[in-house]
Structure 1
């Protein structure tokens, strides 16, 4: 387990790194950390997620440090989500998932980013959303019962291990598809 993800250190790590413009994504943007780039421009980068829950998962990240989306200037927000939409279309056309799920992040790594995750029936992502769907709208007592029933879900589901070579291959293929999507827009 990576230290920043361990339960005991998470809150301490979050406090220490809150609004520090030297997080992993800032270092990638400066060229100090490696990444598999799908797309990059002056304002943002689309990179392969090094620890995906589904093959083809990418991260859309502003180069400048913003902890939350509402901190970004309006012009960047529009560009950011336009490229994210094009990346979603590229993932969809190249990988043919049942859906491309978009999750906004910024807590573990305090730098706003979107995860675009290809989801297929029965995989980790669809199982997670099925669990969420099963508890929404129910009273607390029923939600607790459902949660207890699914307590082993995390242990039962596996996420893919992806090699650097596979990430690079996916980055090239998705990059080509994304360039085509951006050109069409």
Structure 2
């Protein structure tokens, strides 16, 4: 597709849909024409439109939300955390051990150096007084290198359950 640089997962999914439509037309809907790239390309996003830093930030937030026990003080009475401490979650800040964050990002195909600059531009990171992204601080008495994220607040576009509000559902050309 000249002039349209797609994310590989998105391109593969659309190729599967186009192939399935072509097969369905040949086998079941012989009087119709299969979908063409020109008909569906408006629903695809270019690589420039896909915000990798935003996806990485949302991925980190989801990962922390799925693993809340790793952000608990293991020395606290009745603590559910019996293993590693990855950081802590306050009302407005998510603090993550730098090495744990780098490992997670790497496993999920995100480059920390690239996304951290964008995160900073978007106001997602807290910087040290020296302007660094990595804070040498203590979390539950353990001194290490941590990255501090600003968490979305109540005035963000979320409902009372914390889900993002969607203005309008996009309609696809498939019925």
Computing the radius of gyration from Cα coordinates, the structure with the larger value is 2
TM-score norm. by structure 2 comes to 0.21
* More RCO (CA 8 Å, sep 6+): 1
